[in-house]
Amino acid sequence: MSTLAKTPREIQSALTSYDLQKIRQDFPILHQKVHGKPLVYLDNAATTQKPLAVIEALENYYRCDNSNIHRGVHALSERATADYEKVRVAAQKFINAADSKEILFLRGTTEAINLVAQTYGRKNVTAGDEVLITAMEHHSNIVPWQMLCEEKGAKLRVAPINERGELLLDEFENLLNRKTKIVAVGHLSNALGTINPIKQIVKMAHALKVPVLVDGAQAAPRMQVDVQDLDCDFYAVSGHKMYAPTGIGFLYGKAQLLETMPPWQGGGDMIASVTFDKTIYNRLPYKFEAGTPNIADTIGLGAALEYLSGLGLEQIEEHEADLLGYATREVQTIPGVSIIGTANEKAGVLSLVMEDIHPHDIGTILDSEGIAVRTGHHCAQPVMQRFNIPATVRASFGLYNTREEVDALVRGIQKVREVMA
Amino acid sequence: MADVRELRDLYQEVILEHSKKPRNYGLLASANHKAEGFNPLCGDHYTVFVNLQGGAISEIAFQGAGCAISKASASMMTQSLKGKSKEEAEALFKRFHDLVTGHSRDTDALGKLAVFAGVSEFPLRVKCATLSWHAMRAALRGENEAVSTE
């Protein structure tokens, strides 16, 4: 996962085979001016732009194949069903799941975490039990657990982080105990960029037979994920953060766990048979996919996964590591700038603050230069509280960003000083 | 939306000066009305304190943290409202709101507050400019609880 071990020559050789200009041609939205300046899109942790392959897959589906799935006997339904199910296999391969039935299509990471909280959680968490998360979680990996704990009279425990934004593993291990019923942890922090040591976390939790849910929203588009190697029990991702449409994502769950979980939403497709006396639920994965799913965007997700695999996750990881390293060095040359989140294992995200200048003002001035960044608490208010700041400016990189765009960011931040002086 | 000229209009010298050295800043011990204003999106958070005597604002102060626009707006609001009646304060808020949302270019009754006209070119910043005003109005109306811009 770390690029630190790579020699400069290795990184260089990886980069030369990564044809950035060609890649940028795949993303029509990037080639526009904003306020008269070329768009510099550095808000990829919020959402990513879509390659032509995804846009065309959506259009093609609606032009040629649109139909409901899993029930029609006609040609269109057969095609739509086949294409939809192909994406399940693609998703399985993308994260190296053992079986495609372990992939549930959902709206995204938020819905996936809520599903686990409300099915596995409701069934297994009772009064006095504990749910363990970390201090760097996104609100979507806090609130569903808070809601569960409130309903059940259980307790939410939070493992602390250090000044660099790294999880204190010893403290985490100390918090694990026989009352812990589930661990929920982010793979890559959206506010700090920290990569968590998931394998170690899983090992510690499994020693006490506690299952682990991983919020993979930021990691899945940035590094090769292997759920069998991680040995996590659940892994949740959002398509729109991995160059696919909004409104689609998936949850990986180990089959033996998913089998024991009650269904979540009731409706069509999740049933085997229905009478007014009793309903027999469908097998996996359909037990968790009630109603007509988001077919078009699932097919769009399939195109995105193929696009990412085509470029190679390792290549993308190297490229973003180069950008993050370069940006980190350059930004630190600007007086008064501090980086929030300086973990040794880090990717994709550069959060910063400037003394005396509020992130919101920085964001407006950068926008006037055509530079899109996120300013605010990044749906991670507890992280902001941990560092005693109201907000940060966050530049987050994608597979299409360039060093020249980092230079534009640095010039933009220098301009902030001039405007606010 | 924003070119360089508009950026200068937004971050006028007066605004930057007030954001760096806010007036009437701090807790007002004599306050008989107060309310908080909170923007959950960016974390801006202010408390506005008012000492209301016979229906008029005899003293007003604020404290809290936020961006340059929100802080300068709070600072200049306190200067503009001292001595005003409740009704005058509400009327001034309406005029100020119309100015920053671009509904009116009429700055006659606004005095120094006219420097906030540039905000109308930045719709995402309207909430910053009006946060302390919302809190002020809640304080005057006796709604002694946090107001949110969301």
pLDDT digits (tens, 9 = 90+) for A27-36: 999 999 999 9
Residue B85 region, left (φ>0) first, then alpha (ψ -120 to 50), else beta? beta
Q: What is the ipTM of this complex?
A: 0.86
Residue A379 annotated among the catalytic residues of the structure:
yes
Check CB contact of A237 with chain B, cutoff 8 Å: no
Q: Flag whether pLDDT at A216 surpasses 90.
A: yes
**d(Cα A15, Cα A287) in Å, to the nearest integer?**
44
Q: Which of B4, B44, B125 sits opposite A364 (nearest CB)?
A: B125
Chain B residues in contact with A368 by the CB 8 A cut-off are: 2-4, 6-7
For B64, which residue in chain A has the nearest alpha carbon?
A390
Pairwise CA distance, residues B65 & A368, whole Å = 24
Average pLDDT over residues A202-228: 98
pLDDT at residue A9 in the model: 47
CA atoms of A165 and B140, how far apart (whole Å): 43
Cβ(A248)–Cβ(A103) under 8 Å? no
What integer pLDDT is reported at residue A2 of this predicted model? 43
Residues of B in contact with A357 (CB under 8 A): 68
- Is A143 an 8 Å CB contact of chain B? no
Chain B residues with CB inside 8 Å of A376's CB? 41-43
Per-residue three-class SS string for A180-248:
EEEEEEECECCCCCEECCHHHHHHHHHHCCCCEEEECCCCCCCCCCCHHHHCCCEEEEEHHHHCCCCCC
What is the distance between the alpha carbons of residues B89 and B102, in angstroms, rounded to a whole number? 20
* Average pLDDT per 10 consecutive residues for chain B, totaling 150 residues: 74 95 96 92 88 95 95 98 96 96 89 94 93 96 67
Could A361 and B68 be called an inter-chain contact, meaning their C-beta atoms sit closer than 8 Å?
Answer: yes
pLDDT greater than 60 at residue A313: yes
- State pLDDT tens for residues A130-181: 999 999 999 999 999 999 999 999 999 999 999 999 999 999 999 999 999 9
